[in-house]
Structure 1
Amino acid sequence: MADMETISIVVPSYNHAQYIEACLDSIYFQDYGRLEIIIVDDCSPDDSREVIRGWLSNVDAQQVSYASRFNEATDEVERTWHKRYERDGRSITFVSNERNMGSTATYNRGFRMTTGEFCSFVVSDDMCHPQMLSTLAAPLREDKADFVYSDMFIVDDRGRIMREFRLPEYDFSRSFGDWYLCGVSTLYRRSLHERFGFYDESAMADDHECYLRFAMGGARFLHVPKTLYSVRSHDQREVGLHSKDRFSALLDYSKKLTLKARAWNRANGGAEQGGK
């Protein structure tokens, strides 16, 4: 792993105690060799912090076993014991905000702590599929792109797949001028933050605003047409950003960003989008 770039993943935690262990497991058990996992809890009112501390204790010590040999002499099936979490190349940091800062400031606190060449964030109730990071890292390592995104499943609280969200091949007009169509299954060069700044803490649609800024600044985007991530549906759980009022404000903000993308595209010789 000496020549393998480190991937930094920020996990912003807020009020997701029942989901965050599965989220963290899905990152820890990626088939990519060098991961920096940074968990930032934003003063969750539930027991998220206790759950995270328990998960960290398990990473250090929990043992599991499997049936490995039938001993004919004793008529017993012997078991082999091993650590549940035993992958090399994992660095894990957990911090808690001293006061509730909001989701975007929490993202930024995590990203300012990252050291890897590539980075992204994973929402604490979502799940990464096992080959997500290795698949998205490949075009970055081959210098084919600066920002890579993939398709996603939308799942409910029972883990049922409600639909598959297949995103378009990257085109500025399609991906930013029609609507924001890059999703949340992403990986990109950390140097983009050094060039263009972190997430705008005044933006309702913080990822949309940030990635549009990357694109208008010249970052190379690439779509990987594989389903590598599961997004938790909020249809029956209208809380936080997905409460009716806040989600309506988020949509209004994204509409403004879409118009901004269309204006930028026209000024730079691009075609009109959406027949407007």
Structure 2
Amino acid sequence: MTQIITSLSQIQDDYDALFCDLWGCVHDGVRALPAAVAALQAFRAAGGTVVLLTNAPRPRASVAEQIAGMGVPDDAWDTIATSGDAARSAMFSGAVGSKVYFIGEGRDHPFFEPLNIVSDPVDISMVPMDQADGVVVTGPFDPNQPPDVLRPQLLEAKTRGLKMLNANPDIVVDRGDHREYCGGAVAQLYEQMGGTVLSFGKPHPPVYDLARRRLAELGDGVPDERILAVGDGIATDVKGALLEELDVLFVSGGLAAAETETETKTDPDPAKLESYLNEHQMNPPYTIGYLR
């Protein structure tokens, strides 16, 4: 059974690095969460390293700019690993061809900026569906609409046998008090329709490999047993960490706030939490209501 804790400081001495999720843990999609920022600052002040590990479908520089605008200070983290960078590496290596049909919002166009870590990168161009070699998804065209509205485009792609590169495996996120659909919802529908999806963010291995490389770039040789993953997504953050054999701190006050009755309290209801974890067949070593 998971251990409910009330502060990261209770367990932080057991770890040298965090792989910390952003949305739902450090910010709510609109603004930084002060207690979470303070917890990360305290972890770093005690000698720890913070890798922000996010399913954002954008380059890390774009994410750094975004979170700064939300009020997350630079001294709360050391480096960033994004699902977008992991997926971009695959795209520029030719995973879905050179001509791609893009599904996503205009603000995600930085996904197509050149990536210098790939030798001899493929020249990528965005084209109409009937000219495409593959499909790239960063999210729905409109995150407020269910993915079913994309069924006609997805049916054409599936009929043509196109692979889909999904840059964000998250199904939904909460922007303040409003829930929005993500790339994972589109990819899930495409798979249900019989299409082939290539995914690179949590819970899939490529983004964890990237996070370890980003950690190593800092000169920190941290073994896996000294890394703690932190996240609120049971099917992404928790599942991914457990598959990587990393300890994980589940933040129940994020996506599962209602199910665990954390939204009206500072800590989850133990019985509701146990029921939720059993339903999803996950057993994170630790759970906290909100990162603090």
Structure with the higher strand share, 1 or 2:
1
Q: TM-score per shorter chain, which class?
A: under 0.3
Query: Which one has the largest radius of gyration?
Result: 1
For normalisation by structure 1, the TM-score amounts to 0.27
Scaled by the length of structure 2, the TM-score of the pair is 0.26
